[in-house]
Amino acid sequence: MAQRLEEIIKFRKEKLEKLKQIGIDPYPSKTQRTHSNAEALEGFDKLSQQNQSITIVGRIRSWRAMGKLIFAHIDDGTAKIQVLFKEDNVGKDQFKFLLDYFDIGDFIEATGTLFKTKTEEKTLQAISYKLLAKSLLPLPSEHFGLSDEETRLRRRYLDILLNPETRDLFTKKSLFWAKIREFLVKKGFLELEMPILEAIPGGAEAEPFVTHHNALDRDFYLRISLELPLKKMLVAGYEKVFEIGRIFRNEGIDTEHLQDYTQMEFYWAYSDFDKLMEFLQEMYQYVIQETFGTLKITSRGIACDWSGKWEKVSYVKLFKEKTGIDLEKASDGDLKEYLDKNHIKYEPKAHRAKLIDTIFKSVRSSIPLDKPVFLIDQPIELEPLAKKDPKDPKIVQRLQIFAYGTELGKGFGELNDPIDQRARFEEQMQRRNAGDKEAQMIDFDYLEAMEYGMPPCAGFGVSQRLFAFLVDKPIRETVIFPPMKSEK
């Protein structure tokens, strides 16, 4: 197989050299294209009736020589259309040149008129043509395609070219983010761009990537969240801000996690926790309906209905119901005893928040799978950036949107008390100094901004994990070029 491929490449390179020798540029910079393939097909009736000469372009996707006829299909990205080359129309020499120098995968420009074949296929009858780009590697077969997943992900351009489902996936992903942006802009939110390189990574509990800035001669971190710089914009006087951007977390890979992915976060001054939940239900229903044309989406074998009013589930109540543990009264020893009794692995030196979260992973399966819910009332240990609940200071105003058994968005009634925030950052630093690489660092610039005064506000973030579930794909499949191990 490898030898056969080498022979094909050698043969195509020989053609390339011959083209150059006879004075033909195999990679010209201009084309005389007059219509896209889609425009030619859509305007077929009028163009064919008027016998109008048009010029189309595209990659040769199929090639069938029959005596003095060649039938080819070319694809320009908008549509695929058939082109007929007849020796009588293009000339004997040009017909032979076509046979001698063109291959499937090459890009071609063809000029002619439209007609329908006996099988009623819309076709361009060419009177002239031009080489636009010579391909050196043969395309994989459309019928057999790219069966190996690693190959598909490394050479995603081929996967998109050969697989309409993959092409549609990324078209849909673009629409998904566009509809989120559209919804927020219509609601008066301003899109801003925050820095990717940060002196202090904040806004989430995650291990960051580190990079060195040569000009400033100091290390920076790739951002793990969009949160803290955007909240500074509320201090600056903006009322509603958001960003759709890349974030980076130096964590493990699985069907729901990546290191480099797109996230949207918004922050809304003078709003509150209850308004936030109403707003999110409206936003999700709008985006899902506009992107997929329905609110009933099946993923991982679960049919979930995103319509209607979403239920609220209390974290602490559910925890107590399923484990018998009252988090308000339980000690760390009680939590470890439960973990040991149920043979759940944990780090012996794990702090309280980690212990609670480890136990909850076995509890959350009882959250409804077939409808979205707001998981609320999380204990304060779990969230250093959320405002305390005014009725119970041991829980925070945090919501997690759960569906299909996983978190698909998280929001807060945002903490705007700088003294409380400093105390929580200090507790995080204690955990970090004890070896927790994911604990948050103290961001003194952010604390200073808060001390100038931050309005009451609500905030929310959602990553492309939501899109991955809505299209029922592992998250790595929803990234065009995901990070991968080196090829051996």
Please check whether residues 328 and 392 belong to one and the same domain.
Answer: yes
Mapped onto helix, strand or coil, the DSSP state of residue 337 is: helix
Question: Residue 87: what residue type?
Answer: E
Looking at residue 68, the DSSP 8-state letter turns out to be T
Whether the CB-CB separation of 475 and 252 falls below 8 Å is answered with no
Please check whether residues 94 and 134 belong to one and the same domain.
Answer: yes
Dig out the tokens for 337 from the structure. Answer: 């005893």
Q: What is the pLDDT of residue 404?
A: 96
Provide the domain count of the chain: 2
Dig out the tokens for 163 from the structure. Answer: 């697989």
Model pLDDT for residues 40-98, shown as the tens digit of each residue: 999 999 999 999 999 999 999 999 999 999 999 999 999 999 999 999 999 999 999 99
Residue 293 structural domain: 159-478
Residues 6+ apart with CB under 8 A from 68: 86, 87, 88, 95
Looking at residue 406, the DSSP 8-state letter turns out to be E
Given 76, 108, 139, the domain boundary residue is 139
Beta strands in 343-464 (DSSP E): 373-376, 378-379, 388-389, 392-396, 398-403, 406-413, 457-463
Distance CA 150, CA 147 (A): 9
Does any domain span residue 473?
yes
Please check whether residues 134 and 163 belong to one and the same domain.
Answer: no
Query: What pTM did the predictor assign?
Result: 0.90
Q: What is the pLDDT of residue 206?
A: 85
Please check whether residues 324 and 247 belong to one and the same domain.
Answer: yes
Q: Which of 257, 149, 171 is nearest to 475 (CA)?
A: 257
Distance CA 208, CA 164 (A): 36
CATH number assigned to the domain comprising residue 76: 2.40.50.140
Does any domain span residue 485?
no
Distance CA 43, CA 122 (A): 11
Does any domain span residue 336?
yes
Residues 6+ apart with CB under 8 A from 101: 15, 18, 19, 131
Please check whether residues 7 and 43 belong to one and the same domain.
Answer: yes
Does any domain span residue 81?
yes
Please check whether residues 133 and 168 belong to one and the same domain.
Answer: no
Please check whether residues 76 and 202 belong to one and the same domain.
Answer: no
The arithmetic mean of pLDDT across residues 238-255, rounded, is 91
Beta strands in 276-404 (DSSP E): 296-299, 302-305, 311-314, 373-376, 378-379, 388-389, 392-396, 398-403
Please give, one letter per residue, the 3-state secondary structure of 85-154.
EEHHHHCHHHHHHHHHHCCCCCEEEEEEEEEECCCCCEEEEEEEEEEEECCCCCCCCCCCCCCCHHHHHH
Q: What is the pLDDT of residue 143?
A: 44
Given 77, 110, 139, the domain boundary residue is 139
User: Given a cut of 60, is residue 302 above it in pLDDT?
Assistant: yes
Does any domain span residue 144?
no
Please check whether residues 203 and 341 belong to one and the same domain.
Answer: yes
Please check whether residues 69 and 207 belong to one and the same domain.
Answer: no
Dig out the tokens for 396 from the structure. Answer: 């925070």
Does any domain span residue 245?
yes
What is the side-by-side strand order in the sheet with 378-379? Answer: 378-379, 392-396, 388-389
Whether the CB-CB separation of 399 and 449 falls below 8 Å is answered with no
* Count of C-beta atoms within a 10 Å radius of residue 43: 15
Q: What is the DSSP string of 352-364?
A: HHHHHHHHHHHHG
Given 77, 109, 139, the domain boundary residue is 139
Whether the CB-CB separation of 123 and 117 falls below 8 Å is answered with yes
Mapped onto helix, strand or coil, the DSSP state of residue 222 is: strand
Please check whether residues 20 and 166 belong to one and the same domain.
Answer: no
Dig out the tokens for 282 from the structure. Answer: 């409206």
Question: Rg of the chain's alpha carbons, rounded to an integer?
Answer: 29
Distance (Å) of CA 148 to CA 151, 160, 163, 339: 5, 14, 13, 40
Q: What is the pLDDT of residue 251?
A: 83
Distance CA 16, CA 246 (A): 41
* Residue that has been written with the tokens 């820095």 in this structure: 195
Please measure the distance between the N-terminal and C-terminal CA atoms of the chain and give it in whole angstroms. 18
User: Given a cut of 50, is residue 463 above it in pLDDT?
Assistant: yes
Give the pLDDT band of residue 227 (cuts 50, 70, 90).
Answer: very high
Across the chain, mean pLDDT equals: 93
CATH number assigned to the domain comprising residue 398: 3.30.930.10
Q: What is the pLDDT of residue 144?
A: 46
Question: Residue 483: what residue type?
Answer: P
Please check whether residues 73 and 163 belong to one and the same domain.
Answer: no
Whether the CB-CB separation of 112 and 126 falls below 8 Å is answered with yes
Does any domain span residue 421?
yes
Looking at residue 477, the DSSP 8-state letter turns out to be G
Please check whether residues 18 and 122 belong to one and the same domain.
Answer: yes
Model pLDDT for residues 436-453, shown as the tens digit of each residue: 777 788 889 999 999 999
Whether the CB-CB separation of 446 and 232 falls below 8 Å is answered with yes
Q: What is the pLDDT of residue 440?
A: 84
Does any domain span residue 417?
yes
Model pLDDT for residues 93-144, shown as the tens digit of each residue: 999 999 999 999 999 999 999 999 999 999 999 999 999 999 999 998 754 4
